[in-house]
Amino acid sequence: MTVTGQRVLPGPGGLCQKGWTSAQLLNTPGRLTTPLIHGEPASWDEALDFVATKIKEYEPDQVAVFGGGGLTNEKAYLLGKFARVALKTSQIDYNGRFCMSSAAAAGNKAFGLDRGMPFPLADLRNADAVLLAGSNPAETMPPFMKHLTNAQLIVVDPRRTATAEMAALHLQPAPGTDLALALGLLHTAFINSAIDKQYVHERTTGFDAAWRVAAAWWPERVERVTGVSVQDQRAAVELLRGNAFILSGRGTEQHASGTDTVSAWINLALALGLPGRKYSGYGCLTGQGNGQGGREHGQKADQLPGYRKIDDPAAREHIKQVWGVDDLPGPGRSAYELLDALGQDIKTLLVFGSNPVVSAPRAKHITKRLESLDLLVVADFVLSETAAMADVVFPVTQWAEEDGTMTNLEGRIQRRTKALSAPEGVRSDLELINGLATRLGQPEERFPTEPEDVFTELRRASQGGAADYSGITYARLETEELHWPVPSEDHPGTPRLFLDRFAHPDGKARFVAVDHRGPAEPPDDEFPLYATTGRVLQHYQSGAQTRRIQELNQAVPEAFVEIHPDTAHRAGLEAGGTAKVVSRRGEMQAKVRCVSSMRPDVVFLPFHFPGDGRANVLTNPALDPTSRMPEFKVCAVRLEPA
Ligand SMILES: Nc1nc2c(c(=O)[nH]1)N[C@H]1C(S)=C(S)[C@@H](COP(=O)(O)OP(=O)(O)OC[C@H]3O[C@@H](n4cnc5c(=O)[nH]c(N)nc54)[C@H](O)[C@@H]3O)O[C@H]1N2
Ligand SMILES: Nc1nc2c(c(=O)[nH]1)N[C@H]1C(S)=C(S)[C@@H](COP(=O)(O)OP(=O)(O)OC[C@H]3O[C@@H](n4cnc5c(=O)[nH]c(N)nc54)[C@H](O)[C@@H]3O)O[C@H]1N2
Ligand SMILES: [Mo]
């Protein structure tokens, strides 16, 4: 249902607005059809020569690459190879670091393996209850809602969202307090004898240490910290008895304590005996078109294809052999740290599939960093805010114009089939990578331009890794539903992981002892409100695509701020007026929407808008120590009339 082109699933309410308007984007007036050098049209050869010549002036680690979770598996794979083999740089990361990295880190810790959902989506229909922690799928994944019609829904969100409206129980914690809430629910489950002791004994380790922390989170203390009543905590635990799923979204994950917060939710799921059982479990709701596949094939700073670790000697040997090289760079920096180093020790940046001017935290600062580069290169099909700053822009094909594969939230590999030919002047990302790599002295055949050839190599590279695609072929995907790992061509794939054992060597899942620490920037006298950010139905991400579609832009044309009417009144603001929203890092303007279901201490801002309406000017780049995820979901602000 996403504009970047996942195959559209029809839901009970049909497609979301973005789905049925996405075809319009294919011939949007802003479609790029010629390379640009300093804003002037140039030929492909001129632009490729210009970039390659410039890159040769620098040391490998002065050149960086920023990828995207919307790229196909083939693109993500070839981009990672391009960085490590052609550029020989360690400096590559991607926007998925801003997306699912905390859930991935916590999943790896608990289960020894991260696949967003280790079970088929259809299993949700057989559950008695589903708890959604910080996810608003009614707006962000409408087709998914059809899987939630049978279960009792528990929604954990500081806002009363469209999803919360449908819930049997809505818990409305203050932003950044989910960890305390999850500890509290574990506490209540223990007191009310909802713990599955046999499962905990047989299938897990570490319960005692996790419980020692949760023991201090008695219900009244949790109510004081989170605002969720003792009664609602009990009601949530009662609903979770039986077949139940706990699913996390960006609301609970995009915090400086996001990994620990997801660990706390997984601890609760383990204590209730859910993961690795049919019709129960923990999962993370994926974001971008290829949010799952994008994190498996090596565009992440610490990763090699097949979901291998770049600092694992055996993984390095395997990949060196597949790539036919003697050496590989080590781990690089995470997304925010990489962007923050631009113009410092990084002089050149190549961007594929992201618009960080709008979507990166502390965006004014990051924009200055982008300005300070010697060379910024952007591949896109529209002139995004980041492309508009670039020295060189390459016009590339988009979803309906190319072949490839994407991996969905349940780890199922799907074919993307070319339906249209691209406008003249446009080339694919794979051709662009090949054009640069060969100019940097690489042999032609090392950087194939046919997606199926790239996939064939990806299969070998992933063989024996956690995300093993070696048994998958394009031909099989025509007729079969394949969930990784698929270790051989006669293997049927793995829709349900963990039924017999988890992926740690002892086969057991691990409780991780974590404690609440609260947001990195709590409100104070000067900045008394929590600001949180997120999405609306009509816009996609940085809005580079959806703001160009008239219908969507008319529905939600500009930035707005959701405020409780009393809070608006105290700040001297009226519904429909314009607020200035100020944080320690900058200020932006937003149309006031008074919403009586808002907590009086919270304001909400969508991050889809550029210019004066750019919410990321406000956000705090405090990073999670494990996942390096920035704290998009909470910073301290004050409101003033504009
Ligand atoms: N329409 C639309 N759909 C999209 C996208 C889009 O941009 N637009 N983007 C796609 C992508 S890449 C992603 S990652 C997904 C994201 O999908 P979601 O995770 O559903 O999206 P968000 O709106 O970022 O956050 C979800 C909710 O978290 C709540 N929240 C804020 N702070 C907290 C907190 O501290 N705790 C809790 N529990 N909740 C909190 C917000 O109020 C919000 O309703 O959507 C995908 N689908
Ligand atoms: N405040 C705040 N900030 C956030 C978030 C939040 O919740 N709050 N969420 C974060 C999350 S979860 C995400 S995923 C990011 C997303 O934010 P971005 O990383 O900026 O993602 P998009 O807006 O999807 O930008 C993708 C760009 O790449 C182009 N593109 C799409 N597909 C391709 C392709 O195949 N090849 C090439 N070359 N280009 C392509 C598009 O036209 C677009 O310009 O934002 C993050 N920022
Ligand atoms: Mo995302």
- CATH label of the domain that carries residue 327: 3.40.50.740
Instruction: Name the one residue in this structure whose structure tokens are 């100019």.
Output: 439
Q: Are residues 145 and 196 in the same domain?
A: yes
Tokens of 583: 């944080």
Same domain, 366 and 472: yes
Which atom number of ligand 1 is nearest to the Cα of residue 288?
A: 12
Per-residue model confidence (pLDDT) at position 547: 80
Q: Both 204 and 117 in a single domain?
A: yes
Provide the pLDDT for residue 523.
97
In a domain, 504, yes or no: no
Q: Is 468 within the bounds of a domain? A: yes
CATH number assigned to the domain comprising residue 633: 2.40.40.20
Same domain, 121 and 203: yes
Alpha-carbon torsion (616, 617, 623, 624), positive or negative = negative
Ligand 2 atom 46, closest CA? 359
Q: Is the pLDDT of residue 24 over 80?
A: no
Measured from the Cα of 161, ligand 1's closest atom is 44
Q: Return the ligand 1 atom nearest residue 163 CA.
A: 44
Give the residue carrying structure tokens 């003792």.
Answer: 230
The residue among 266, 285, 304 that closes a domain is: 285
**Pocket of ligand 1 contains residue 234 by CB under 6 Å:** no
Is the pLDDT at 209 greater than 60? The verdict is: yes
Q: Are residues 114 and 35 in the same domain?
A: no
Reported as a single tens digit per residue, the pLDDT across 216-227 is: 999 999 999 999
Average pLDDT over residues 95-100: 97
In this structure, the answer to whether residues 67 and 136 fall within a common structural domain is: no
| Residue 255: pLDDT over 90 | yes
Q: Note whether residue 5 is domain-resident.
A: no
Atom 6 of ligand 2, nearest CA residue: 534
Residue that terminates a domain, selected from 285, 311, 343 = 285
pLDDT single digits (tens) 563-595 = 999 999 999 999 999 999 999 999 999 999 999
* Residue corresponding to tokens 């981009």: 79
Q: Decide if pLDDT at 12 tops 80.
A: no
Q: What is the Å distance from ligand 1's center to 574 Cα?
A: 26
Q: Is the CB of 476 inside a 6 Å radius of any atom of ligand 1? A: no
Would the pLDDT of 266 be above 60?
yes
Q: Which ligand 1 atom sits nearest the alpha carbon of residue 16?
A: 1
Residue 99 Cα to ligand 3 middle (Å)? 4
Q: Is 98 in the pocket of ligand 1 (CB under 6 A)?
A: no
Q: How confident is the model at residue 14 (pLDDT cuts 50, 70, 90)?
A: very low
The predicted pLDDT at position 10 comes to 31
How confident is the model at residue 119, as a pLDDT? 96
In a domain, 511, yes or no: no
534-550: average pLDDT: 87
Residue of 132, 136, 616 to test ligand 1 pocket, by largest number of atoms within 8 Å of CB: 136
pLDDT bracket for residue 287 (50, 70, 90): confident
Nearby residues of 196 by Cβ (< 8 Å), 6 or more positions away: 271, 272, 273
- Name the closest-CA residue to atom 41, ligand 2: 353
CATH of residue 254 = 3.40.228.10
Predicted local confidence at residue 53, as pLDDT: 98
* pLDDT tens-digit readout, 103-124: 999 999 999 999 999 999 999 9
Selection from 360, 416, 582, 561 nearest residue 72 by Cα: 416
pLDDT range class, residue 484, cuts 50, 70, 90: very high
Would you say 521 and 636 are in contact if contact means Cβ atoms under 8 Å apart?
Answer: yes
**Has residue 24 been placed in a domain?**
no
Ligand 3 center from residue 447 Cα (angstroms): 28
- Both 625 and 552 in one domain: the answer is yes
Domain count, the chain: 3
SS3 313: helix
**pLDDT beyond 70 at 273:** yes
**Where in the sequence is the domain holding 417, given as residue range(s)?**
31-94+296-483
pLDDT confidence of residue 17: 56
Q: Read off the pLDDT of residues 596-639 as tens digits, 9 standing for 90 and up.
A: 999 999 999 999 999 999 999 999 999 999 999 999 999 999 99
111 and 147 both lie in a single domain: yes
pLDDT in tens, 297-354: 999 999 999 999 999 999 999 999 999 999 999 999 999 999 999 999 999 999 999 9
Q: Flag whether 350 is in a domain.
A: yes
Residue 623 pairs in a beta bridge with 630
Say if ligand 1 is within 6 A of residue 99 CB. Answer: yes
Distance 141 CA to ligand 1 centre (A): 10
Whole-number pLDDT of residue 26: 55
Place of tokens 């008239």: 550
**Would the pTM count as exceeding 0.75?**
yes
Q: Do 132 and 238 sit in the same domain of this protein?
A: yes
Q: How confident is the model at residue 542 (pLDDT cuts 50, 70, 90)?
A: confident
Q: What per-residue confidence (pLDDT) applies to 9?
A: 30
Q: How confident is the model at residue 546 (pLDDT cuts 50, 70, 90)?
A: confident
CA 580 – CA 278 distance, rounded (Å): 50
pLDDT-based confidence at residue 8 (cuts at 50, 70, 90): very low
Domain assignment present for residue 6? The answer is no
Cα gap 503→264, rounded to integer Å? 19
CA–CA gap between residue 454 and residue 432 (Å, rounded): 14
Are 333 and 430 members of one domain? yes
User: Does ligand 1 have an atom closer than 6 angstroms to the CB of 619?
Assistant: no
Q: pLDDT tens digits for 31-52?
A: 999 999 999 999 999 999 999 9
Distance 285 CA to ligand 3 centre (A): 10
Write out the DSSP string of 602-640.
EEEEE----GGG-GGGT-EEEE-TTT--EETT-EEEEEE
pLDDT of residue 548: 82
Return the minimum-mean-pLDDT range out of 39-43, 446-450, 551-555. Answer: 551-555
pLDDT, mean of residues 74-87: 98
13 pLDDT tier (thresholds 50, 70, 90)? very low
Q: Tell me the C-alpha to C-alpha distance, in Å, between residue 78 and each of 146, 454, 455, 458.
A: 35, 7, 9, 9
- Alpha carbon 190 to its chain centroid, in Å, reads 33
Q: What is the mean pLDDT of residues 525-554?
A: 90
Q: Return the higher-pLDDT residue of 6 and 264.
A: 264
Residues 311 and 233 in one domain: no
What is the pLDDT averaged over residues 286-293?
Answer: 91
